[in-house]
Chain A
Amino acid sequence: MSQPQPKLAQRAVLAALDDATLAAALRRMHLIRKFEETAEQSYMRGLVHGTMHLSIGQEASAVGAILHLRPDDYILSTHRGHGHCIAKGADVARMLAEFFGKETGYCRGRGGSMHIADLETGNLGANGIVAGGLPIAVGVGMSIRMQKQSRVCMVFFGDGATNEGAFHEALNLASIWTLPIVFLCENNKYGMSMDIAKAMAVPHVADRAASYAMPGVAVDGNDLPVVAAATREAIDRARAGRGPSLVECKTYRLRGHSKSDRNLYRTKEEIEDWRGRDPIARLESELLQHGRLDQATIVSVRDEAQMEIEAALEFAKSSPMPDPSDLTRDVYAA
C-alpha cells in the first residue's frame, strides 16, 4: 500500500485562480491548439488557401493575458492572432468558415486568417501589418476616456513590432495621456527569421517601458498562472485610471512563421527544447500535481474542444461561398 502523497504547496499565482477558471482556461487553450491543428491540416489538404500564422506553443500567453479582461474590454490582435480571438470568446465555426473563405465567416470571406474581428466580444481585429494595432489602441484608449467608460484596451504585438516607430509613438502617447491600455508583447524570439537578440539593443522588450515611464515586466509566457497574474496587475492599473503598462510574455512558436517557413534560422534542438515547455502540458501537469483538476476533467475538456472543432469544420465546409457580384459591397459604409 502506497503512502498518500503530501499535498504540495501551490504557487501563489496558481492559488489565485479557482478551479472553474482554470478548467475554462485549459479548455480555451485546447480549443486554440485544436483549431490551429485543424486549420493547418485543412491547408495541407488544399481546403484553405493563402497562408496562416500559427501560434501553436503560445496558448498560455493568449489565454492568460485575456483571462482577467471583462467581456466588454477591447483587444487588438496581430497576424498571429487566432489564440487571442478564441480567448476573447470568438465562435470557432465562424473563424474556420473565414479560413475557408466562406460568406458565413467573420469577415464574409474578405479577410481570411489575418483580419478576423469580432466586435461583439470586444475584438477590434487582427492586423496584417506588424505594429499596426498599436497606434489604434491609443485611439481606443482616448475613446474609452472620452466616453467615461471603465473599459480597458489590451493590444497584442510580437517582438518584431517593437522596432517599428508605431510601437514607440503608441507607448509615448498612451503614457502622456494616462490611457487605459495594456501593451502585451508576445516575444516568441523571432521576427520571421530575425532573432530578437540581433534586432533589439536592449535584452528585454519590457526594458523599453522605462523610456515611457510605465511599468514593464517580462514573464514566462508559457506559464499560464504567471501570465494571468502579471496581466491582472496591468489591467487593474489601467482600469483604475493609473495608465498603461507593458507586459512581455517570453514564448515560442513551435511552427514556422507562416506556411513558407523552412526553419533555416533555428535548430531542431531549440525547437525540441521549447516543445518540452509546451504550455498546455505544463498547465495540465501542474493542475494534476496540486489536485486542482483530475484526469477525468482534463480528458473531458480535451474531448469537448475536439467536438467543438469538428462541428466548426463541418460548418465551414458546408457554408456558402461569397457572391462575386457583391465584391465592392463593403468598401464604403452607406
Chain B
Amino acid sequence: MPLDEVVHDTGVRQLSYAEAIREALAQAMEADPRVFLFGEDVGVYGGAFGVSGDLVHRFGTDRVIDTPISELGLAGAAVGAALTGMRPVLEIQFSDFVTLAMEQIVNQAAKIRFMFGGKASVPMVVRLPGGSGTGAAAQHSQSLEAWFAHVPGLKVVQPSTPHDAKGLLLAAIDDPNPVLIFEHKLLYKSKGPVPVEMYREPIGKAVIRRSGGDVTIVGASIMTLRALAAAQTLAQESIDAEVIDLRTLRPLDVETIAQSVRKTRRLLIVYEGVKTMGIGAEIAAQVAESDVFHALAAPIARLGGADSPIPYNPALEKATVPQEGDIVATARRLVKEGKP
C-alpha cells in the first residue's frame, strides 16, 4: 500500500502536504493582516520545495517577502516583528540552515517572555523542511528537531499528514509562543484529505493512528507513515500494533503514550533524528520513570538515525535512518522474543 494512502479518509478533498501548507498560509494571511511569510526564494521562485507557490502573486511582495541568504538576520527579524504586533512565518530553506540562526531562536525567541517576567510574547512560526531521502547528503538532510525540543520556551511540531500540516500550521500561527514546524521533504507530494475550512489541530496532542493490543509504535512525521505500513505487515503475522503519531515533540504528550503502553505492554519508538540523545531517549526515560514501567513485558526499544552524517549514496542513505523493514523486525522481536 502506498504510504500516502495509509491514512486516507474517504469523501474529503485531497491535497498534497505542500498544498495543504500553502492553503493554511493563504487562509491565515486572508484572515489576519498581521501574518506574513518571508524567507529565501519564497517569492516568484515559489519556494525551494514549491510550498509558497503562487502566494506572492496573490498577496504581493509586501506579505510574501523574498530575502537575502541571511538566516540569523531573518530569525531575528521574526523575533522583532513578533514582539511588536506581527505574526511572522519564516521559511528556513533547508532545516539544516537553522544552525546559522540558532542564536536568535534559542537565546532570544525562546527566552524573551521568561526573561522579561512574562510581559512580552514572541508569536513567530519557523517552517523548516527537513529529513533525508532526497540524495542531498550531509548538510541538506538532517533531522535536528530534538535540538529545539530541548529548549524551554519553544514549541516543536512535526506533522505527518496533509491534514495535520494545515491544521498544525494554523494552530502555530495562532499560538502566542515561538513554534518550529519541521516539515518532511519526502512528504511534500504525499496526498491526503484536507478540509477546505480553516481548522486547527492542537499543538501538544498526539493521536492514535491505528489501534492495536500487542505493541505500541511511536513515531512522528514520516516515521508515523513507516510505522503504519509496518503495522500492516505485522498484522499478516497476527501481531497487532498500535501506532501513535506524536505530531508535537514539545510539549510532549506522554499521557497518550503511557496509556497505550499500559495496554500493549511493549514500546517501540521510531525517529529519524540521530538515535543517541534523541527524542526516543526522552520518551523511553519518561515511560521508564512512570508506573507504566511495571507493566512492560519487554525492554523499551528505539530505532533512530545512525551515529553518522547522512551519506550521499542511496543505499547508504537508506541505511542511515529507520525503514519499514527495521520497524517490522524490531516490533516482531519485541512481541515474539521479548527483546529489542
Report which A residues bind B (CB closer than 8 A).
Answer: 74, 76, 105-111, 115, 117, 119, 124-125, 127-129, 132, 134-144, 146-147, 153, 165-166, 169-170, 172-173, 176, 328-334
Contact = CB atoms under 8 A, between A and B. Distances in A.
Contact of A125 (B67, B82, B112): B112
Contacts of B79: 135-136, 139
Given A139-B78, A173-B74, A333-B113, 11 more contacts: A106-B119, A107-B119, A111-B117, A139-B77, A144-B84, A147-B86, A165-B72, A169-B72, A172-B73, A330-B114, A331-B113
B76 A124 contact: no
A74 to B, nearest CB: 7
A127 B115 CA distance: 10
Contacts of A110: 114-117
Contacts of B117: 105-111, 330
A117 B36 contact: no
Contacts of B72: 135, 165-166, 169
A107 B81 CA distance: 21
Contacts of B84: 74, 124, 139-140, 143-144
Interface residues of B, number: 41
B2 interface: no
A229 to B, nearest CB: 28
Contacts of A170: 73, 76
B9 interface: no
B108 A132 contact: yes
Contact of A146 (B86, B103, B108): B86
Interface string B114-144: 1111111101000000000000000000000
Given A129-B108, A143-B84, A176-B68, A332 B120 contact: no
B107 interface: yes
A173 B85 contact: no
B153 A136 contact: no
B177 A333 contact: yes
B203 to A, nearest CB: 11
Interface string B78-116: 111111111010000000000000011001100011111
A127 B79 CA distance: 13
Contacts of A334: 176
Nearest to B73: A169
B80 A138 contact: yes
B50 interface: no
Contacts of A108: 117-118
A129 to B, nearest CB: 5
A136 B80 contact: yes
Contact of A138 (B76, B116, B121): B76
A143 B73 contact: no
B116 A166 contact: no
Given A132-B107, A169-B73, A115 B78 contact: no
Given A136-B76, A138-B77, A173-B77, A146 B114 contact: no
B99 to A, nearest CB: 13
Nearest to B82: A139
A134 B74 CA distance: 11
27 contacts: A105-B117, A107-B117, A110-B114, A111-B115, A111-B116, A117-B115, A124-B120, A135-B74, A135-B80, A136-B77, A136-B79, A136-B83, A136-B104, A137-B80, A139-B79, A139-B83, A140-B81, A140-B83, A140-B84, A142-B77, A142-B80, A143-B86, A153-B80, A166-B73, A172-B68, A331-B114, A332-B177
B120 A119 contact: yes
Interface in B177-212: 177
A330 B113 contact: yes
A140 B73 contact: no
A146 B36 contact: yes
Contacts of B177: 332-333
For the complex of A and B, 4 pairs with smallest distance between CB atoms: A135-B76, A139-B80, A169-B73, A330-B118
A141 B176 CA distance: 20
B338 interface: no
B108 A142 contact: no
Of residues A127, A142, A147, A176, which shows the largest number of chain B Cβ atoms within 10 Å of its Cβ? A142
